[in-house]
Structure 1
Amino acid sequence: MELQTLIQHIQKVELRCKSLTHQKLAGLFNSSFKGRGLALDSIRKYENGDDIRGINWNVTARFRETYVNTFTEDKERLIWILLDVSGSGTFGTSQKNKLTLAIETGATLAFSALENNDRVGVIFFSDKVEKLLPPSRGMAGFWRIAKELVQVQAQGKGTDITAALHFLMKISHHRSVVFLLSDFMAAGYQAVARVVAQQHELVAVRVYDEKEKHLPAIGWAKLQDTENGSEQWVNTASLSFQKAYSNRFEEVEQYYHDTFGKGAAGMLKISTGDDFVQKLLQFMSGRI
């Protein structure tokens, strides 16, 4: 992509992010996520309405009165965006493919966080970690992130969510907000995802295309696996093919729900035909 074209792409992203709707999103973003680590501030006597999970049992036993711990949040909030740039993201039958949807969603989340003076870092991954953008602030940080988003080209084709999450844990030792953007066309990531959900505020954003649920029965067609490049002629009108095709989507969906249904900060599914900004607004409004 030429430099001038690149700048125009980034400016379009920036202008959309500065719209009134996106400003509202930035406000909701700040209210929806904690993300900051907690430090013990003081110990005081229990008062009606205090969270019983904050009771300091050692001090309570010693003085025979109920005492609770109080905490303060770290001043800085760190946001991580983990973006799946694998080959399966090129699938799309609507106005955009899954990768474009993930990129636009990631750019919007980054802008919302940077508007709140948070630090934002990005990890691009496929079947390996492709690139790391260390956390940064402000509009300079947004332009840096947007530039990488609009010109991203993965070397790997497959998807390894486990590797991406292990890499995150290796480089990020403080509690943060983590957005994992992927179509989740992978397996084996459940154990590490649950560990990350305990250490961070994790949101699993699943991008998909409606045609992944049911492919039109158009007869014989040549289909290509976007991750390994293999091609195969199939009869799309065959009942056995239609069943196998639908089952694949349902298996991915079930594994996603089994993994993130408990313990994670949230799950958000966005179709290539959706208004992703409205989806983000609805999701964050529901968290307040």
Structure 2
Amino acid sequence: MPTKSQTDLLKKVREIQIVSRKVVDELLGGEYKSVFKGRGMEFDEVREYMPGDEVRTIDWNVTARTGKPFVKRFIEEREQALFFLVDMSASGSFGSTGQSKNEVAAELCGILAFSAIKNNDKVGLIIFTDEIELFVPPDKGQLHVLHIIRAILGFEPKHTGTRIACALDYLGKMVKKKCVTFLISDFQDADYDPSLKLAAIHYDLIAITITDPRELELPNAGLVELADAETGEQILVDTASAAARNTFRMAAKARSLETKAALTRLNIDQIDVRTDRDYMRDLIRFFRTRERRQTL
């Protein structure tokens, strides 16, 4: 018989499944297909030439053999792989608004994964901290997507730190073909620019930054002991001090701007998600902005 924690996990997976499928059917199904196109065009068949057909598509070998003009017909090679690189370091378990960053990551993966399989794409997963903790090879189907959601929600990492470069380098070793890659993290890390640059060349890389409001601004709550979830370092802060709150706010803003600048410099699309607001607005804005850009 399942334990309470297992029952809660299955219930959460089911909730994500229901919401994700609804969102895909109503909002993102067509958006996903138009934004993430297949790898190119593949040959399908030859058929007799019809008025209006492009002359450049004539198959001269078949035409010469039959004595009638035939054209080659091509279809989009739709199938591709979608990979999630999910940061499960200790800072991801933080949440001040009812949801942790890891829970939001699982929901985002669910929505994007159901969009992918609806378009016959495969979905894979890499969970990382300062080490690679889990690799799920790309596959299709609803059961596979549910497995990925369950893996993220129920995962218990062995390490606490973050090494984004480690995840990107591992992706480069394991996945040789171009694929769509969502890097989902709070980006509380450094020295990943070279790996980010290389990955952006080989893959269609999109960064999703997940932030909790308490990481951006401290409340006025008197003396508060702050702890770094990844290093264990603790510090006592007088949050009643406007100067202390402002110092914290400015440092958080500087980190955010540094991350944004690094991604912009490498032409990597970024989706900013917060635990205290509806992330669907951010997702839809990304899809529509990217679609407009591709049609220019």
TM-score with structure 1 setting the length: 0.82
- Whether contact under 8 Å (1:202, 1:264) holds in the other structure is no
Q: Give the 5 Å matches for 1:109-124.
A: 109-124=112-127
Counterpart selection for 1:9 from 12, 17, 23: 12
Unaligned runs of 5+ in 2: 44-73, 292-296
Shift of 1:72: 8.2
Residue 46 of structure 2: aligned partner: none
Q: Which digits, 9 at most, give the CA deviation of each residue in 1:21-70, with x for residues without a partner?
A: 65421221111123x445899xxxxxxxxxxxxxxxxxxxxxxxxxxxxx
2:200 is the alignment partner of 1:197: yes
The 3 A distance-change label for structure 1 pair 187 and 7 is same
Of 224-233 and 3-12, more deviation after overlay is shown by 3-12
Counterpart selection for 2:21 from 13, 18, 21: 18
Rg comparison, structure with higher value: 2
Counterpart selection for 1:27 from 25, 30, 35: 30
Counterpart code for 1:149: I
Q: Give the 5 Å matches for 1:59-208.
A: 74-208=77-211
Residue 280 of structure 1: aligned partner: 283
Of 196-205 and 257-266, more deviation after overlay is shown by 257-266
Q: Which digits, 9 at most, give the CA deviation of each residue in 1:126-146, with x for residues without a partner?
A: 111110111010112112112
Residue 220 of structure 1: aligned partner: 223
Residue 251 of structure 1: aligned partner: 254
- Whether contact under 8 Å (2:178, 2:202) holds in the other structure is yes
Q: How many residues align?
A: 258
The runs of at least 4 consecutive aligned structure 1 residues that moved more than 3 Å come to 1-6, 20-23, 36-41, 71-75, 262-265
Q: Which digits, 9 at most, give the CA deviation of each residue in 1:190-234, with x for residues without a partner?
A: 121111111111100001022222211222111111112233222
Distance 2:25 2:276 in 1: 19
Q: CA RMSD in A?
A: 2.2
Unaligned runs of 5+ in 1: 42-70
- Whether contact under 8 Å (1:194, 1:260) holds in the other structure is no
2:233 is the alignment partner of 1:235: no
Distance 1:7 1:123 in 2: 21
Counterpart code for 2:163: D
SS at match of 2:208: strand
Distance 1:75 1:284 in 2: 18
- Whether contact under 8 Å (2:24, 2:115) holds in the other structure is no
Distance 2:152 2:20 in 1: 14
Q: Which has the higher contact order (CA 8 A, sep 6+)?
A: 1
